[in-house]
Copies of this chain bind each other. A is one copy, B any other.
Amino acid sequence: MTRLTRRYRFSASHRLHSPALSDDANRALYGKCNHPHGHGHNYILEVSLTGPLDEHGRVADRAALDGLVETAVLGEFRYRNLNLDVPEFAHLVPTSENVARVIERRLELGWRNAFPGPAPRLEKIRLFETERNIVEK
């Protein structure tokens, strides 16, 4: 089995704030990421898939993967406010952990369409919010 990883970038803004908590509790929990008007990041997304090599020496067609990531994620996340522009975050705080979770679900939903065969398999995603805060699923 071989693992192929592709790296993508998108710039977006977000605010960490839970409607279930008081303003004070939000501030205590999320600190400066709770500032009322939000802030943003140049996110880096790595998508890793594994499988055997096909007869053409490839784990997967790059164009199929790039197309899936564009359609399922980047096209809606890029240059957007995650809280206000991405439906999943209407009721889910866009921590880097949750952003990774939402991206993973979206890729899983579109996977079969992009890769109709038994392989490759989506193995993991890695999301860099900054160069020092990284989440993997």
Chain A positions within 8 Å of B, measured between CB atoms, are 2-9, 11-14, 18, 29-33, 35, 37-42, 46, 53, 56-59, 62-63, 78-81, 83-85, 92-98, 100-101, 130-137
Contact = CB atoms under 8 A, between A and B. Distances in A.
Given A33-B79, A38-B40, A41-B40, A7 B58 contact: no
Nearest to A135: B4
Report whether over half of chain A's contact residues are helix, strand or loop; otherwise say mixed. mixed
A81 B135 contact: no
B130 A53 contact: no
Contacts of A39: 11-13, 40, 78-81
A37 B97 CA distance: 22
A75 to B, nearest CB: 11
A107 to B, nearest CB: 15
Given A37-B84, A42-B42, A62 B11 contact: no
